[in-house]
Amino acid sequence: MAVGDVKKEENLIVEVFTVASAVDIELGEIVWNSGSGIIAATVHSTVRGPYFMARKEHDYSAETDHDIPCVVVGLVDAQVTPSATIAKGRYLEIESDGDLDILDYTSATGWYEIAAISMDELLTTDTHGLVLLGTFP
């Protein structure tokens, strides 16, 4: 699979969102709706999700239509940057670069950053991996 791919069409939910002004989005990037449009998800004290995955790359300055499809719920290949090997079935959180990494289970404050569940083992050399997106605690 390649970044941005969908593994299963069954139970897939895709919605169209407007990209926030002057924001570029990468294919397979985890995004959230800031209220002014979707932007790349990064660790930020006010970001609480929900999180989606962009199904289309978007260069704001080169496009005139600023609506792109995003996976809201589904089994997809998304951007990851594992800091350690991540076992299948672990929660993934948003990192400062906007990619997914293993949730810090030792922190009581990070549960709002849960964005996905790993559905394959993810290695530190992986740049994308199979994850389940949806609504989590």
Burial class (CB in 10 A: 0-12, 13-18, 19+), 9: exposed
* Per-residue model confidence as pLDDT tens digits over 95-130: 877 789 988 878 766 677 788 999 999 999 999 999
pLDDT value, residue 46: 63
The residue-averaged pLDDT of 31-37 equals 90
Which domains, ranges and CATH numbers included, belong to the chain?
13-133 (2.40.300)
* pTM reported for the whole predicted model: 0.86
- What are the DSSP calls for 64-102, one per residue? S--EEEEEEEEEEEEEB--SS-B-TT-EEEE-TTS-EEE
